[in-house]
Amino acid sequence: MGRENGFDRVKGAAIVLVVFGHVWLGLGSAGLIRDDTLFQTVEAAIYLFHMPVFFFVSGLFFSSRAAPAAFLRQKLLTLLWPLLLWSWVEGAALWLSGQGVDRGLTGPRWGC
């Protein structure tokens, strides 16, 4: 019995929609889409379902081989720790560059 490619195609289409959504937002931010109604309609249509579809299809094949506590501990280490680390790195970069003022990060006062 061969591999069923239908789910791969659905995930591929969802990934294409993720990329298209980011490009669409970039075009809108650059002012290249002049019709606000068109922009908002396409944005709402894409963001309404593309990520839920991707997560749903990916979750169909999820299988935890560990006990719940061990699984959660492993996910904490592999997902939460990189998120926190990146948040600290990004926050430090924004603080040092002075680009985080709109987020309450005023930056260092060198020699003041």
Residue-wise pLDDT for 63-96, tens only, equals 777 788 888 888 788 888 888 888 888 888 877 8
DSSP assignment of the chain equals -PPP-HHHHHHHHHHHHHHHHHHHHHHHHTT----HHHHHHHHHHHHHHHHHHHHHHHHTT----S-HHHHHHHHIIIIIHHHHHHHHHHHHHHHHHTTTGGGT-----TT-
Residue 47: its pLDDT value, please? 81
Domain count, the chain: 2
Look at residues 71, 72, 73, 23 and name the one whose alpha carbon lies nearest to residue 46: 23
Mean predicted confidence (pLDDT) in 46-55: 80
Residue numbers of the domain that contains 47 = 1-63
Residue 86 and residue 38 share a domain: no
Residue 49 and residue 16 share a domain: yes
Residue 80 and residue 49 share a domain: no
Residue 31 and residue 7 share a domain: yes
CB-based contacts of 100, cutoff 8 Å, min separation 6? 91, 94, 106, 107
Residue 77 and residue 57 share a domain: no
Both tokens assigned to 68 = 């719940």
Look up the pTM and report it. Answer: 0.53
CA dist 16 and 11 (Å) reads 9
Residue 54 and residue 21 share a domain: yes
